[in-house]
Structures are given as C-alpha cells and as structure tokens.
Structure 1
Amino acid sequence: MQGKTIVVTGGFGALGRVVAEVAAARGASVAILDHAPGPPAEMIGRLGPSALLIGGLDLSSADVATKAMDNVKAKFGRLDALLNIAGGFQWETVEGGKDDAWERMYALNLMTALNACRAALPYLIESGAGRIVNVGAQSALHAASGMGPYAASKSAVHRLTESLANELKEKGVTVNAVLPSIIDTPGNRREMPKADFDRWVAPADLAAVMLFLASDEAKAITGALIPVTGRV
C-alpha cells in the first residue's frame, strides 16, 4: 500500500473505519468520503493529519461524486484504489411494501457505487494499476422474505462489478466485489442480540480481503464476486 492513494466511501461507518485505518497503517494515503457530517473523534487520531476526511456527501448524486474525486486528486496527486463501502439496509416485504424502499436501496447501494466508479475512473486509469472493490452481499444470491429491495440493489452491484471489469480489462483497472454475510458491527448486535456474534464476519477480516484485492498482488483477479461469510 506504500505510496498508494485509496478512497473509501462510507468510511465513517463500522467497516469503513477499519478499512481506512488498516490501509493507512500499511502506508497508503487515505481519503474517506461519507454521508455523515463528520467522522468519529477517535478516527482522526488514528489516521493522522495527512488523511482527507470529507463528510456531508450524497454520492447518489453524480456531480457530488465527481467533485469529491477531483478533491482527492488535487490533494494527493493520484488515485489508485476505490473501495465502495457506502450503502444501507432496509427490510421490506413486497406485499404491503412501498416503492420508496426500493428507490432508497437503489440509491444507497447501487448509485453511490456507480457514481463513485465513474468519477474515479479517469484517475484510476491514469494510475496504470487502478483497483475498484465493491461491497455486494451474500444474501443477494438468494433473497429471503423481506430482503427484496436490499438484495435487488446488491445484485445490481454484482452485475456492475462484472460488467465494469470486462469493460476495463484492457486498461489496467481491476474490478471485484466482496460478498459478506452478516458483519459484526454494533448496529447488527443491537438488532440481533441473541445471535452468536462469533459466527459473523469481523470487520478486520473483511478489510483484509478488500485490501488484498486493492493491492498489486491481486492484479490477476478481476470480475470476481468473493464470498466472505464467516461461519454463517
């Protein structure tokens, strides 16, 4: 990671913070983009003064995404990897459900990734060894009741990953996705207090896979949808 510039969307969240901190510890320059107005206080100290942290961004807007990537390039002079973690979850059945759940999941999960990819592409191609790592979902492979809007949006992320990988295979940019099951976050623990948390995916373990895919060692992997499911 030494000398690389890595952008993490959704970087103020439970997974994004871990990914950003590990990348910085490995010598990368880190830019964190998030919809939240600002990062947790402890995050600034862990990343150091050189990190770029930008809050208040709605990456479902193409213009916002473009300006954010331009700011990254202006600060660091390069952009080598984009890790799309921004997203959300909503449980909603089809029967009796509302259209806004589908629209919200589409905006949060697909459009944030699509807009970030488009905005970063010129700089990733310029780097000569650009990397995109998206976050899909294991549950999008076979959706259960109430998972329709979320699974449909994450399935779209899978197809985006495959299509963009094929599109960029001659331009030195790889595109892959990780497909986690349940990630061990404080929010998930609150929602499922009786679950066996040890069976879930630890953020550090998922971060390790994502950062491998963002590394030079992963140059032969593109278009892959990689399950990271712990023991769920």
Structure 2
Amino acid sequence: MDRKVVVVTGASGALGKVVAEAALARGARVAGVDHAPTQVAATENRIELGGVDLSDPAQAKNAIDTVAALFGRLDVLINIAGGFAFEAIAEGETGTWQRMYALNVLTALNASRSALPYLVASPAGRIVNVGAMGALQAGIGMGPYAASKAGVHRLTEALAAEWKGKLTANAVLPSIIDTPVNRASMPTADFTKWVRPEELAEVMLFLASDAASAVTGALLPVTGRV
C-alpha cells in the first residue's frame, strides 16, 4: 500500500485505531475521520479530522474533499464508523432504529458517495465496509442493529455492481470483535473465540490491496474461532 491514501472512518474506535496503524505500517498515508474530537497529531503521513458527523451528507463531503486536497488523491475508503444497540422490538423505540440506520448505513453511504469521484480516478480504488454476521439472521434484541447492518450489505453489493470495472467494494462480516466494550458487556464469555481487531484489520487491508483486484461485491465472514 506504499503511498496510497487511505481514509478510515471511525478512526478513534477500537477497530479504527488498529486498521489505521496497520495501514501506516504498510506505507500508506492515512486520514482518520471521526465524530469524536481529534486524538492524533498530524504528521506527513497521517491526519485526523474530528467532530465530523458522517450521517450529514455535507459534512461527509467536506471531510473527504479536505483529505483529497491535503494528500492530492484518495485510493481507499474503509468505512468503520457505526454503532450498536440491543433492544427488543415490542419494548423498543422507533428512534433506536433511526439511530442505527444513521450510524451504520448513512455514514457509509455518505462517505462512499463523497469519495467516488476520487476513487474512480485512482488506478486501484477500493471501498471496504463493515457488515455483521449478526445481520444474516437477527436474534432476540438484535433487530435495529441487524437491519442496519443488512443495509450495509446491500449498499456494498450495489456499489460493486454500479461501479464494477472502476473500483471494488467489499464488506467484512465479523462475529464478535474482541474490544474492551464487548468484554465489559459480556464478562463471562470466552474472549479467545472472538475476532481480534488485528485479525480483522488484516482481512480488511487485503481487500484494500492490489492483491484483491478481482474481488468485488463480496460479503466476507470473519468469525474467529467460534
């Protein structure tokens, strides 16, 4: 990924930080975009834009345009920004469904739409999204989250079909990611069976690489050792 410009949304989160660091280690220039305040000092090869609401099309476009202006190009968009909610349907709120849609679908949609002109201009434009295994069959309390992640799956497939031959669009479908938040919410679980962020980052950066040039429209399960 030498000198490629990679945008990572949700860059301040547990997975986003790992993906950004892994891309940097491969020689990429990385721009993090997040709703949280900037946490990383700018360097020649790394910037971070904080306070960006990617569910707002105008803010998403401004962030992507800023990255392209600073680095002169954009080659890879990795959409990690998102959220989770556990809520049963009968006792739940419509607002939860709307929030999951905004956090998971609209963030990926707006970032992707804003990045398309730049990615098409790249010799190897890539979009990598984060779906979820739990969206393939929703369990109890998983309705809002699963529905939104299913939307990410369909978005990925549509992007791949509409832009085939000009860029690739794929998604990883993790099971449970081994993060501090997930450990705290499921303290009795066997963490060794979960997907480590570093493992998921490897798969995502493969899909972002030249080696994956023939892969598009894939929804790739990454399920750890369950």
TM superposition score normalised by structure 2: 0.98
Contact 2:133–2:174 (Cα < 8 Å) also in 1: yes
> Which residue number corresponds to residue 33 of structure 2?
33
How many correspondences in the alignment? 226
> Which residue number corresponds to residue 188 of structure 2?
194
Distance 2:117 2:205 in 1: 21
* Partner deviation per Cα, 1:187-230 (whole Å, 9 max, x = no partner): 11111111111100000000000000000110000000000010
Q: Which amino acid aligns with 1:189?
A: R
CA RMSD, aligned part only? 1.0
Contact 2:53–2:59 (Cα < 8 Å) also in 1: yes
Contact 2:130–2:173 (Cα < 8 Å) also in 1: yes
Identity within the alignment, %: 64
> Which residue number corresponds to residue 17 of structure 1?
17
> Which residue number corresponds to residue 129 of structure 2?
134
1:103 to 92, 98, 101: 98
Describe the SS at the equivalent of 2:55. Answer: coil
* Partner deviation per Cα, 1:44-74 (whole Å, 9 max, x = no partner): 4xx8553110111100000000000100111
Deviation at 1:38, TM superposition (A): 2.3
List runs of 5+ in structure 2 lacking aligned partners. Answer: none
Runs of 4+ in 1 over 6 A off after TM superposition: none
Distance 1:102 1:194 in 2: 28
Deviation at 1:170, TM superposition (A): 2.8
Deviation at 1:97, TM superposition (A): 1.0
TM superposition score normalised by structure 1: 0.95
Distance 1:212 1:96 in 2: 41
State whether structure 2 residue 184 is matched by structure 1 residue 206: no
State whether structure 2 residue 177 is matched by structure 1 residue 183: yes
Q: Which amino acid aligns with 1:9?
A: T
Q: Which amino acid aligns with 1:79?
A: L
Describe the SS at the equivalent of 1:32. Answer: strand
Distance 1:50 1:117 in 2: 22
State whether structure 2 residue 154 is matched by structure 1 residue 159: yes
Contact 2:28–2:45 (Cα < 8 Å) also in 1: no
